[in-house]
Amino acid sequence: MDDLRSRLAAVDARIADAARAAGRDPSSITRIVVTKFHPATLVADLHRLGVRDVGENRQQELTAKSAQLSALTDLRWHFIGQAQTKKARAIRTAAGVVHSVDRARLADALEAAGTDGGVLDVLLQVNLTADPDRGGVAPEELERLAEHVAGCRTLRVRGIMAVAPLDEPAAPAFARLAGYARRLRAVVPDADWISAGMTADFVEAIAAGATHLRIGSAITGPRPVRI
Ligand SMILES: *Cc1c(COP(=O)(O)O)cnc(C)c1O
């Protein structure tokens, strides 16, 4: 718990420094702690340390942990992984925000699962690489997808999300992302969230305007081997 506290504090200090260096207010940035592969007890420890936004990338894990921790009603669960359409209902049940909407069929499945009268916050994931397996809509399809999702009554388009490419420095990729964010706002004017930045590249993401950082191992420590 002490190690977790000090890693969290160290990351938050680096976020604040990077924000100030970019002329931004640190309080305009939401730090999501990615807890994938770690047990629910770690999420409970993070909650005790004041963390309220946590991220998971697999539906089964999201469903299990959010059920185990259902007493922590102020935790916000962010789904950040590639989503299968048939898992949309389970994802919608457990998540407060879905960052990885990258196709109309997934939006339709999430929409169809919205039967409780609530509205689900979603981000459109854009692919910053030429590899379709990396997830995300191709940039040239962004406006078309935005128009489609904006027409889903139980979804609210909040912004854009991306993962930095592996074979390119993060800064130019995030600069492209900032341009896609502007294009999204031309379709959905209040969709001003930018979800970008992980352990290796959150400073570059902040410089490029990220509003939501998804940080895992720098805070949680190394991930346990996936079972
Ligand atoms: C795992 C993951 C992260 C966090 O990765 P770290 O390098 O541990 O910070 C962020 N975003 C997505 C989509 C992830 O799957």
Q: What is the pLDDT of residues 61-81, one digit of tens each?
A: 999 999 999 999 999 999 999
Flag whether 60 is in a domain: yes
Amino acid making up residue 219: I
Mutation to probe ligand 1, out of 31, 34, 80 (largest number of atoms < 8 A from CB): 34
> Rounded mean pLDDT of 175-201?
98
Q: Is the pLDDT of residue 227 over 60?
A: no
Flag whether 90 is in a domain: yes
Q: What pLDDT score does 223 carry?
A: 80
Mutation to probe ligand 1, out of 198, 215, 220, 223 (largest number of atoms < 8 A from CB): 198
Averaged pLDDT of the chain = 97
Label residue 167 exposed, middle or buried (CB < 10 Å: 0-12, 13-18, 19+).
Answer: exposed
Model's pTM, two decimal places? 0.97
Ligand 1 pocket, 34 CB below 6 A? yes
The 10 Å Cβ neighbour count of residue 204 is 20
Residue 51 is part of a domain; what is its CATH number? 3.20.20.10
Taking only the tens place, the pLDDT of each residue in 121-167 is: 999 999 999 999 999 999 999 999 999 999 999 999 999 999 999 99
Ligand 1 pocket, 212 CB below 6 A? no
Flag whether 226 is in a domain: no
Nearest alpha carbon, ligand 1 atom 6? 216
Distance in angstroms (rounded) separating the CA atoms of residues 142 and 220: 33
Distance in angstroms (rounded) separating the CA atoms of residues 68 and 144: 38
> Rounded mean pLDDT of 82-106?
97
Q: How many domains does the chain have?
A: 1
Distance in angstroms (rounded) separating the CA atoms of residues 146 and 156: 11
Flag whether 225 is in a domain: no
Residue tagged 């305009």 (tokens) = 28
Torsion angles phi and psi, residue 15, rounded to 5: -60, -45
Ligand 1 closest atom vs CA 57: 15
Q: What pLDDT score does 226 carry?
A: 63
Domain that holds residue 75: 2-220
> Rounded mean pLDDT of 206-225?
94
Taking only the tens place, the pLDDT of each residue in 117-127 is: 899 999 999 99
Q: Three-state SS for 214?
A: strand
Give the pLDDT band (50/70/90) at residue 116.
confident
Flag whether 227 is in a domain: no
The DSSP code sequence of 114-181 is: --SS--EEEEEEB--SS-GGG-SB-GGGHHHHHHHHHT-TTEEEEEEE----SSS-HHHHHHHHHHHH
Flag whether 45 is in a domain: yes
Given a contact cutoff of 8 angstroms between Cβ atoms, the answer to whether 86 and 127 are in contact is: no
